[in-house]
Amino acid sequence: MQQINNSLLQETLSKCKRVFVVVALFGLGINLLMLTAPLFMMQVFDRVITSRNTDTLMMLILVAVLALSTMAALESVRTFILVRLSGWLDRRLGGGALKTSILTPMKTGERSNIQGLRDLTHFRSFLTGPGIFPLLDAPFAPVFLVIMFLLHPLLGVISLIGAIALFVLALLNEMVTRKPLSQANQRAMQAMNHAEAAARNADVVEAMGMMPNLLSKWRHSNQQALELQATASDRGGVISSLSKFARSILQIAVSSAGAWLVVAGDMTPGSMIAGSIIMGRALAPVEQAIGSWKGFLNARGAYTRLKAKLAEEKIEEQSMPLPRPKGTIDVEAVSYAHPGSSEPVLRNVSFKISAGEAVGLIGPTAAGKSTLARILVGNLSPDSGHARLDNMDMAEWPSDDLGQYIGYLPQDIELFSGTIRENIARMGEGDPEEVIAAAERAGVHDMILRLEKGYETEIGDGGAALSGGQRQRVALARALYGNPSFLVLDEPNASLDSVGEAALMDAIRNLREKGITVVVIAHRPNVLKHVDKIVVLRNGMIDDYGWRDDILEKLQGNQKGLMPPQNTPPEITRSISSATRGALSEQEKQQATKAIEKPVESDPDLDRKPTKSSVPEQQREGREAGQASRIARLQAMQSRAEKRGGRVGKVAAPASMERVKAVANEPAPITDRVRSEILALAERPLTETEVEEIYFLYSAGDKQNMLKKLKGVG
């Protein structure tokens, strides 16, 4: 995609100029033809009545009917043009207004709403409503004033004074109603947002008795809106009454002046009647504009808000699509702070993920994991640095093209009103085979078939017909739809039961075997069973990055029988810019420096990438190598324990716990690390008693029985 410099609204309004020129020409013709009635009256009184010529009357009637028919046709065409213009504006700007309503809250942190669409509808309705016609006719009022001067200068002066008086009243109406109406609209929008938020969280509101508090909050905003609106309406009503009074006085003044001129012989009776009608026509648009000023101000406010929302929306042109990415992720010195916050969420984060790797992203709450996930899929643009997919900046890759290669399961699951098939197909028609394939990869196919209508089951607004776990599994299938190259799963097991969690881990394993790059954000260690590497994020910085088993060992995680990592050793770049260091506290600087200087170790025996055919054999070899390594570490720990406290005697082959205790003097106590090693060696859950038995068997040198106990056959 390429972007044009003009914004969407500027481009649209520039194309409307020719239409407005045509509408203005139609308005000129309509206003000139409105002179038909006064001119007809003047000719009837001055010519027909005095001459008693019926042929002249018939000709005047014919001309008047033809002129009035033309005026009616022009008004119809003008209305037709404005209606079509309104529809074109909606089609042209509606998509941009909805797009900005969706994306702006995500990037600015504002509350989600569709106010942009409401503003567009309000502005569009004003263009085709009765309030627009006085504004279109008001510029032609000087034409009627000129005609009044042609009839007689005195009538022209009276009409000019009346026009000035009404114009002053219109300005006064603008001054006294603009501020309260603007504030009333803001309060009304706040009240509507409170009501929408309460409706979205109806279960919480009702269950915890929050209804009175929410109603009170809504009433407060709504009452303020009503009071401000009443103030504006009261002021506008007074000015509207004054304008009607002034217009009536002017009508009487023109008629009186015309009668005086007729008596004096300076004007004919027909001219007097025509002047009265023309003066009323000249001042009518101004009076009508004052009456509809509230609607004009609301439409102008809607246009201003719409213009602000669409200011950054660019016209996009279709360009050559990029090829399917392989899945290599480069995060280069990414820093990000939420809008309005001076404290960065991410600080100089850098790491690399090779294509086809599965990486776990862990860390404490508020470490910046979800924010990093949104940057990885291109939803957020970092304040500095880049997140690249196959060397292309995610923030610069158009989402319409990038979306087909990305699978994203956010922390807050949101489904759309429609069928399960539509939701999995990302609200498109979708190929049935691809929909079923995605559901099978997510392990949700059988669950869907058990529903009443299967894939055509209507799930309601937000997936209300499904449970939390079902929504999460359907959302996982949606993320897998279309065989993406890069998948980001943010807390994918938050609402899953044991069956759903097993299906999730199978899906992660299958994705890795197919060479799809996966990033999993998780708190539960068992979800990390099938990842290759782990990124530890703390205080918005990379605390550690390496092979899964190495990281879990450092964190003393109780993992068992895991598949060995694959692919190349992790590439990590840790750097703290001088600007970032200046924003950190002294303690954070020391932590960052320690993290930078800390080397990343890798096991050379694990630096090989298994092929699909050799994966089971390498899994077995990896387990055996891992067990041998852990036994060696356990033996070293035992030697250190013997030196610290008590010598443990050894016997030939003790057969039971009692026999071990009989030959042992004062064995060293089990440390947490030794207990973790024993749990990692086992291929089944162990009780505390079994852990102690295995420890004493090993301490006594009875490795044969110890291995049997580990496998549960001893």
- Quick one: CA dihedral 176, 179, 182, 186, positive or negative? negative
Residue with tokens 């506008």: 236
pLDDT of residue 65: 94
Q: What is the pLDDT of residue 674?
A: 73
Per residue in 565-621, pLDDT tens? 444 445 444 433 433 434 444 444 444 444 434 443 444 333 333 333 333 444 444
pLDDT in tens, 675-699: 767 776 776 667 777 777 777 777 7
Q: What is the mean pLDDT of residues 639-662?
A: 43
Pick the most confident of 146-150, 178-182, 570-574, 629-633.
Answer: 146-150
Task: State percent of the chain over pLDDT 90.
Answer: 7
Token readout for 539 is: 């205080």
Distances in Å between the Cα of 148 and the Cα atoms of 43, 137, 549 are: 16, 17, 95
Nearest to 590 by CA among 571, 573, 601, 576: 576
Considering only CA atoms, which of 319, 362, 678 is closest in space to residue 519? 362
Residue 443 falls in which region: left (phi positive, over 0), alpha (psi -120 to 50) or beta: left
What mean pLDDT is reported for the chain?
A: 76
Fold classification of 140-291 (topology level)? ABC transporter transmembrane region fold (1.20.1560)
Choose the CATH number for 329-413+484-498+507-606 among 3.40.1260.10, 3.40.190.150, 3.20.20.100, 3.40.50.300: 3.40.50.300
Q: How confident is the model over 402-411, as pLDDT tens digits?
A: 888 889 988 8
- The DSSP output letter for 404 is G
- CA nearest to 650, candidates 631, 635, 630, 632: 635
Arithmetic mean of pLDDT, 195-215: 78
pLDDT score recorded for residue 64: 92
**How far is CA 278 from its chain centroid?**
55
Task: Write down the pLDDT at residue 73.
Answer: 93
If you average pLDDT over residues 360-373, what whole number do you get? 88
Lowest-confidence range among 126-130, 374-378, 512-516?
A: 126-130
Does the structure show a pLDDT above 90 at 339? no
| CB-facing half-sphere around the CA of 447: CA atoms within 13 A | 19
What percentage of the chain reaches a pLDDT higher than 70?
Answer: 78
How confident is the model at residue 509, as a pLDDT? 84
- For strand 314-317 and strand 2-7, is the pairing parallel, antiparallel, or unpaired? antiparallel
User: Residues 6 or more apart from 610 whose CB is under 8 A from it?
Assistant: 566, 618
Which comes out higher in pLDDT, residue 341 or 714? 341
Residue 653 has pLDDT above 70, yes or no: no
The CA-based diameter of the chain, rounded to the nearest angstrom, is 147
Q: Which of 67-76, 343-352, 503-512 has the lowest mean pLDDT?
A: 503-512
Is residue 664 helix, strand or coil? coil
Asked if the model's pLDDT at residue 201 lies above 90, the reply is no
Q: Does pLDDT of 516 surpass 70?
A: yes
User: Any idea what the Cα angle at residue 87 is, between residues 82 and 93, rounded to 5°?
Assistant: 115
Task: Supply the pLDDT for residue 62.
Answer: 94
Q: Does residue 3 have a pLDDT over 50?
A: no
Higher pLDDT, 415 or 112: 415
Whether the predicted pLDDT of 294 surpasses 80: no
What's phi and psi for 319, nearest 5 deg? -130, 180
Q: What is the pLDDT of residue 63?
A: 92
> What is the DSSP secondary-structure string of 496-546?
--HHHHHHHHHHHHHHHHTT-EEEEE-SSGGGGGG-SEEEEEETTEEEEEE
DSSP single-letter state for residue 458: B
Domain boundaries defined on the chain = 1-131+299-318, 140-291, 329-413+484-498+507-606, 615-711
Query: CA–CA separation, 460 vs 466, rounded Å?
Result: 9
Say what the pLDDT of residue 695 is: 77
Cα–Cα–Cα angle for 582, 588, 591, rounded to 5 degrees: 125
pLDDT greater than 90 at residue 137: no
- Check pLDDT > 90 for residue 265: no
Strands 346-353 and 329-336: antiparallel
**pLDDT over 80 (residue 485):** yes
